[in-house]
Amino acid sequence: MAALNADTSPEAGADCDDAEDSDADGAVNEGCPKVADKSESRSDCANDSSDDENDGVPDDDAVNDGCPATVVRWIFPPDTDQGDKLDLEGIYGAPVRDGDVVYFGAYDGYIYALDAADGAPIWAFETGDAIVNSLVVNEETLFAGSTDGRLYAIDAASGDEQDRFDTGSSIWASPLIVDDVIYVAAMDGELHALNKDTLDPVEGFFFKADAGLVMDPTPADDDTLLVGGMDSKLYALDPQTGDERWSEPFEGGNWFWGRPLVNDDTIYIADLDGNVHALDLSDGKSVWPQPFRASAAVRAAPLLAGAVLIVVDREGNAYGLNPDDGTPLWAPTPTGKTVLSDPFLLQSTSSPSPAAGDEGSGEVLILAQGGDLCRIDPADGSPVGARLCAEVKL
């Protein structure tokens, strides 16, 4: 895992012809094109020398050619050739930063706490199985759900276990804390509501779907909680009791896995058939004349960038939709990358708070599998910078 800082103005043109930090951002020749057959990557991009060598044979004398337009601050586990290098196996949930510490869970079953400044490990906690979701930090406690079926409450400073709750079924979705309650969705279809201080079940709360819940529980407003999963249904629940708010759940074409986006009284959500839906929060009925159909399954959450709804499918195609009716505003932008994580909006310093109707207030960042970082303008889907995607090569 690397800490990445997107560079809004990578070096280009004549700046790529020297071995200097021309834009004074701490990186040399970031974003410069590959000169010959080989390109530099990873730790080779962190110096001011030419490292294009294969078996000692140099390829060119250009410095940091082909390096991403992204400053890599640190890498964990460290980028080393040692045989005993830590193998995380995979990181499926987004890391969480709290103060000077970054927390994340890995497929190896461990929860890690790292120093945010340099990536140095602070502690590691072992669960009974893989972790495939994000963690939650509340006050001084870290909450983590594992595929071993347990929710762990861990002291955020020391990594010591404080408590645990066993759902009896695997946990794929991230936990959610609302006030004094933590909600945990399990693969047997049950949504658990627990007192966050004691992990005791909340009296009078019960909900169980027909199949596994894989979508992160999402608050729509103070009175409605959204959950969904493998039965292809989206449920709106009373967060106090678990009772259903709608006369019937909304049924899509496949799993609801990615988180929904709630804007005012409208829910935007995509399923694994590639259908993007807009629903009325009050009753779960469709708002658009028909769903928008992407070319592939959609795992990532929709994103509202000004007056454009951004959707990215699994094959890396980015779409800009009119949020009022679901019609495309521009032709799809193909990144050619596999995308499972949520896109996010990097707001421009000139317009830190995009207003309705302002599509050009920032850029959309899309992180693909393998570490590629793609950047598009939400106004028209065009690439931001010299290249659409930077080959971070992690």
pLDDT tens figures, 77-88: 776 655 566 777
CA distance 73 to 42: 11
- Strand, coil or helix: 46: helix
Q: What pLDDT, on a 0 to 100 scale, did the predictor assign at position 315?
A: 93
Residue 21 has pLDDT above 80, yes or no: no
State how far the Cα of 46 lies from the Cα of 41, in Å rounded to an integer: 9
Total length of the chain: 394
pLDDT at residue 152 tops 60? yes
The one-character DSSP state at 174 is P
Q: Distances from the Cα of 300 to the Cαs of 76, 166, 313, in angstroms?
A: 24, 28, 7
When pLDDT is cut at 50, 70 and 90, the band that residue 151 belongs to is very high
Token duo for residue 210 = 């027909």
Task: Give yes or no for residue 98 having a pLDDT over 80.
Answer: yes
pLDDT, tens digit (0-9, with 9 covering 90-100), for 198-240? 999 999 999 999 999 999 999 998 899 999 989 999 999 999 9
- Return the DSSP state at 329: E
pLDDT class of 57 with cuts at 50, 70, 90: confident
75-82 long-range contacts (CB < 8 A, ≥24 apart) are 75/1, 75/2, 75/42, 75/43, 75/119, 75/394, 76/1, 76/2, 76/112, 76/114, 76/119, 76/121, 78/119, 79/42, 79/43
Class (C level, CATH) for 302-394:
mainly beta
Average pLDDT of 150-165?
A: 96
Q: Which of 22-36, 243-257, 261-275 has the lowest mean pLDDT?
A: 22-36
Strand 70-75 to 96-98 pairing: unpaired
**Strand partners of residue 362:** 347
- Any residues with CB less than 8 A from the CB of 24 and at least 6 apart, and which? none
Query: Would you kindly state where each structural domain of the chain is located, as residue ranges?
Result: 1-80, 302-394
